C-alpha cells in the first residue's frame, strides 16, 4: 500500500521520500528511496526527514517487539526449547512532536477486530490528523493482496470509506484526501 501511495503522490506532482524496509517490489520511479532494515533504522530515517515534510504517511507494518539480544553468530540447535526475550520497539508515531507541527500525520491501523474502535483509539493516542484503518483478518484483500478496502478517520471526527478496489485506485483516492487536509491546514494558518 505504501508503494502505491508513493506512486500516486508522484503522479499527482508531489515530491516523495519513500522510507522502506526490504520488499520484493521496485520503488516507484521518481521517489527518493531510503532503505532501512530495522525498526530503529526506520525511526531514525523518519525523524531525519521530518523537517522537510508536508504529509507524513506512516503505513509500514513495523513490528511492535524485537529481540532483546541479537546474536552475531548462528544459534546452534539444542535438544531443548529456546526462549527469546522480546522488548518493545520504539513507537515512531508516538515519538512525533505533539505541538507546532507543520505537517499532516497519517497513521495506518492494520486491525483484526474492532477495526474502527481501535483506529479511533490510535487517532487520539498517537495524535494523528488521519488514521487509515484496514481489516487484515481477511485473506482476500489488504496485506498480500493487490486490492484493499479502507475506513478513514479524521481528527475532526469525520469518517470516510473507500470501497474495495485495486490498491493503485485506493492510493489515488488517499493522496487526494491527504492533499485536501494539507490544503485546509495551510488555509487556516494563512487566515
For the question of whether the overall pTM of this predicted structure is more than 0.85, the answer is yes
- What average pLDDT is seen over the chain? 89
Mean pLDDT across 121-129: 91
On the CB side of 133, how many CA atoms lie within 13 Å of its CA? 23
Indicate if the pLDDT at residue 146 is higher than 80: yes
Ramachandran region, residue 87 (left: φ > 0; alpha: ψ -120 to 50; beta: rest): beta
- In Å, how far are 66, 96, 97, 130 from 44, measured between CA atoms? 16, 12, 14, 22
Q: Give the model confidence (pLDDT) of 12-66 as tens digits.
A: 999 999 999 999 899 999 999 999 999 999 999 999 999 899 999 998 878 889 9
For residue 187, what pLDDT is reported? 65
For residue 82, what pLDDT is reported? 86
Mean pLDDT across 5-14: 96
The CATH classification number of 2-63+87-190 equals 3.40.50.10300
Between 185 and 46, whose confidence is greater? Answer: 46
The 8-class DSSP code of residue 143 comes to T
For residue 150, what pLDDT is reported? 92
Percent of residues, the chain, with pLDDT higher than 70? 93
Ramachandran region, residue 40 (left: φ > 0; alpha: ψ -120 to 50; beta: rest): alpha
Amino acid at each position: 500500500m505504501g508503494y502505491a501511495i508513493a506512486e500516486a503522490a508522484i503522479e499527482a506532482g508531489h515530491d516523495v521520500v519513500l522510507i522502506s524496509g526490504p520488499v520484493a517490489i521496485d520503488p516507484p520511479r521518481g521517489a527518493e528511496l531510503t532503505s532501512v532494515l530495522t525498526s530503529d533504522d526506520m525511526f531514525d530515517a523518519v525523524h531525519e526527514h521530518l523537517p522537510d515534510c508536508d504529509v507524513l504517511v506512516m503505513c509500514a507494518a513495523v513490528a511492535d517487539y524485537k529481540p532483546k539480544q541479537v546474536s552475531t553468530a548462528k544459534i546452534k540447535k539444542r535438544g531443548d526449547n529456546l526462549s527469546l526475550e522480546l522488548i518493545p520497539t520504539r513507537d515512531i508515531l508516538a515519538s512525533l512532536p505533539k505541538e507546532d507541527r507543520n505537517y499532516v500525520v497519517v497513521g495506518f491501523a492494520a486491525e483484526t477486530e474492532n477495526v474502527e474502535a481501535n483506529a479511533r483509539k490510535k487517532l487520539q493516542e498517537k495524535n494523528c490528523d488521519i488514521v487509515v484503518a484496514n481489516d487484515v483478518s481477511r485473506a482476500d484483500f489488504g496485506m498480500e493482496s493487490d486490492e484493499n478496502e479502507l475506513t478513514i478517520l479524521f481528527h475532526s471526527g469525520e469518517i470516510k470509506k473507500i470501497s474495495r478496489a485495486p490498491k493503485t485506485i485506493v492510493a489515488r483516492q488517499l493522496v487526494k484526501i491527504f492533499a485536501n487536509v494539507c490544503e485546509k491546514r495551510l488555509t487556516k494558518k494563512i487566515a
